[in-house]
Structure 1
Amino acid sequence: MSLETQINQDIKQAMLGKQEARLRALRAVKSALLLAKTEKGAAEEVSEEAEIKVLQKLVKQRKESADIYQAQNRPDLYQIEKEEMEYIEAYLPKQMSREEVETFLKDLISRVGATSVKDMGKVMGAANKELAGKADGKTISEVVKQLLA
C-alpha cells in the first residue's frame, strides 16, 4: 500500500475518531505529498525516497517551530507542534541511534578510504545515500566530523 493511500485511510479514521492533532498532521502530509507530485519535472508517482524526504522535511519544520515556541515560552503552541511531529514520525522508518550511526560510519570510512576531514565530502555522499531516511543528516555530519578529526 502506498503512503498516499495509507494517509487517506488514516485521515478518515482521524475524522471519525475526532482526533484533531492527528488530522492536522495527516493533512499536512497529504498536502506536501500532493505538492511533491505536482512539482515541475516530477514523475507521475512519488518515489519512496521522495516520500521519506517529504516526511523528514515536515518533521524538521515541526521540530524547529517547537524549539522556537519553547524559547518564547509558548507551551500551547509548542504542544501542538510536538503532537504533529510525533504523528508524522510514525510514517518514517525507524531512526538509527547515534551509536548505530557511528558504527556504520566507521565501517563506511574504512571502505571509502577516508583519512582526514578533507575526505568528508566523499564520506557524506555515500553515507547520505545509504542512510537515507534512517538517520538525520545533521547527526551523520557531526559523527563524520568527529571520526575524521
Structure 2
Amino acid sequence: MISNTIDQEIKQAMLAKDQAKLRGLRAIKAALLLAKTEKGTSEEITEETELKLLQKLVKQRKESADIYKQQGREDLSIVEEEEIAVISAFMPKQLDAAEIEQIIVQLIKDSGATSVKEMGKVMGLANKELAGKADGKLIAELVKKQLA
C-alpha cells in the first residue's frame, strides 16, 4: 500500500528540508486519510481507489497551474507543477497518445462499437483498461475520434 511509503517519504523529505516534495506528500497523505474516514469506511483503501485519488490530485493541480499561468502568476504555477511531479511519481507510467490510440482501436474492435452513439460502452472499457495510465480527457477525445 502507498500509505506506508508516503510516511517514509515524508520523514526523508523533512530531513532533507525538501519543501516541494513535502507539500506533495502531505497532499497525498491528507487525501488518503479523508478517503479512509469518509462514509464510515472501515476497510483498507484498495489500490484502485489510491490510483483514483492520485489522478484527482494531479488533475486539480494541473487545472490550478493553468489558471495561474493565465493570470500571469508563474510563481504559483511552479508550486503546482512541483507537486504534480511528486504525486506523479507514485502513479504508473503514463502512456503516450499513440499507445492509448492503439488500445482504444482494439477495444472498439472487441466491443463491436460502430458509431459515436456507442461511445459510452467503449469509454467504460477504456477507463477500466487505462486506469491511471492515461488522462480521461485524452481517452474521451481519442475514442470519439475513432468512432467518428
The equivalent of 1:105 in structure 2 is 104
- Residues in 1 aligned to 2:6 and 2:43: alpha-carbon distance in whole angstroms: 18
Question: Runs of 4+ in structure 1 displaced over 3 angstroms?
Answer: none
The equivalent of 2:137 in structure 1 is 138
**Aligned: 1:13 with 2:12:** yes
**Aligned: 1:92 with 2:91:** yes
> What amino acid is aligned across from residue 59 of structure 1 in structure 2?
V
- Residues in 2 aligned to 1:54 and 1:134: alpha-carbon distance in whole angstroms: 13
- Residues in 2 aligned to 1:79 and 1:145: alpha-carbon distance in whole angstroms: 33
The equivalent of 1:147 in structure 2 is 146
Structure 2 unaligned segments of length 5 or more: list them.
none
Q: How many residue pairs are counted as aligned between the two chains?
A: 148
- Residues in 1 aligned to 2:40 and 2:127: alpha-carbon distance in whole angstroms: 23
3-state DSSP of counterpart to 1:39: helix
The equivalent of 2:58 in structure 1 is 59
- Residues in 1 aligned to 2:78 and 2:93: alpha-carbon distance in whole angstroms: 23
Per-residue deviation at 1:74? Answer: 0.5
The equivalent of 2:31 in structure 1 is 32
Per-residue deviation at 1:42? Answer: 2.7
Per-residue deviation at 1:45? Answer: 0.5
TM-score, normalised to structure 1, is 0.97
3-state DSSP of counterpart to 1:132: coil
**Aligned: 1:75 with 2:70:** no
- Residues in 2 aligned to 1:77 and 1:49: alpha-carbon distance in whole angstroms: 30
Per-residue deviation at 1:89? Answer: 0.4
Instruction: Give the superposed CA RMSD.
Output: 0.8
3-state DSSP of counterpart to 2:133: coil
Per-residue deviation at 1:41? Answer: 4.7
- Residues in 2 aligned to 1:42 and 1:119: alpha-carbon distance in whole angstroms: 35
TM-score, normalised to structure 2, is 0.98
- Residues in 1 aligned to 2:42 and 2:105: alpha-carbon distance in whole angstroms: 36
